Amino acid sequence: MVDQYKGMVYTLCLRILRSKELAEEAAQDAFVKAFRKIASFESRSTFKTWLYRITYRTAIDYGRKRRPSVTTNMEAISDNGQESDSSLLQIQKKEESIMIQHAIDQLREEERVVITMYYLQELSIREITEITDWTQSNIKIKLFRARNNLREIMSGAHYKSLHL
């Protein structure tokens, strides 16, 4: 279970908390909670949705309790750079990935959550509702705003300056 979901769980925590250390701690805590509550898991939702709900709540709690010193996802990405293949395509892909991470980092917490769940975790609006308890229309609005803001960030001066 941990091996299969660790990346997704950790990334969701990282997107919410924007701190590698805190995200790792929260993700571990989420898995321990899931392990403890596994008996209460009913097949009303999928296992993935159930696990992300625990993760989401844990990360939000961590964020409330501890305001971290923000080490952005961008740092996390550069630390994770383990690719030995340094071909131009790889570098370009990595750059693009860093840019998008950086842009996501600048969104509001709720927008970061929606974007991560919708794109990275490929959850439907209905599934995001189950996880966050937000209404479907609310999620659609957040998603719209998040994409709009992302587009502006990506095409804006900041994005260009990073490309220079």
Partner 1 sequence: MITNNVWEEQIWDYLDGTMTNEETERFLVKIKAQPHARKLLRECKQLHSQLHKDKAQQPSALFVENIMGKISTARHGIKVSSASWSQAGWIFAVSAIIVVSIAAFTSGDSTGSTLDGGLSDLLVAMVQTSFFRNLAWLSSSLLLLMAIDHLVMSQRSNQRSIRPV
For partner 1, the binding residues (CB under 8 A) are 1-3, 6-8, 10-11, 14, 23-24, 27-29, 31-32, 35-36, 38-39, 73, 76-77, 80, 93, 96-97, 99-101, 104, 115, 119-120, 143-144, 147-148, 150-151, 154-155
Nearer to partner 1 among residue 147 and residue 158 (C-beta): 147
131 or 150: CB nearest partner 1: 150
- Structure token digits, residue 93: 């892909």
Smallest distance from partner 1 to CB 36, Å = 6
Cβ proximity to partner 1, 97 vs 129, nearer residue: 97
**Residue-by-residue DSSP string for the chain:** -HHHHHHHHHHHHHHHH--HHHHHHHHHHHHHHHHHHGGG--TTS-HHHHHHHHHHHHHHHHHHH-------HHHHHHHH-------HHHHHHHHHHHHHHHHHHTS-HHHHHHHIIIIIS---HHHHHHHH---HHHHHHHHHHHHHHHHHHHHSHHHHHHH-
Shortest distance in whole angstroms from residue 25 CB to partner 1: 9
**Please, what sign has the CA dihedral across residues 143, 105, 128, 93?**
positive
In the complex with partner 1, the residue whose CB is nearer, 39 or 88, is 39
User: 35 or 67: whose CB is closer to partner 1?
Assistant: 35
The least distance separating partner 1 from the CB of residue 28, rounded to whole angstroms, comes to 5
Report the nearest approach of partner 1 to the CB of residue 31 (Å).
Answer: 5
Q: Nearest approach, Cβ of 148 to partner 1 (angstroms)?
A: 6
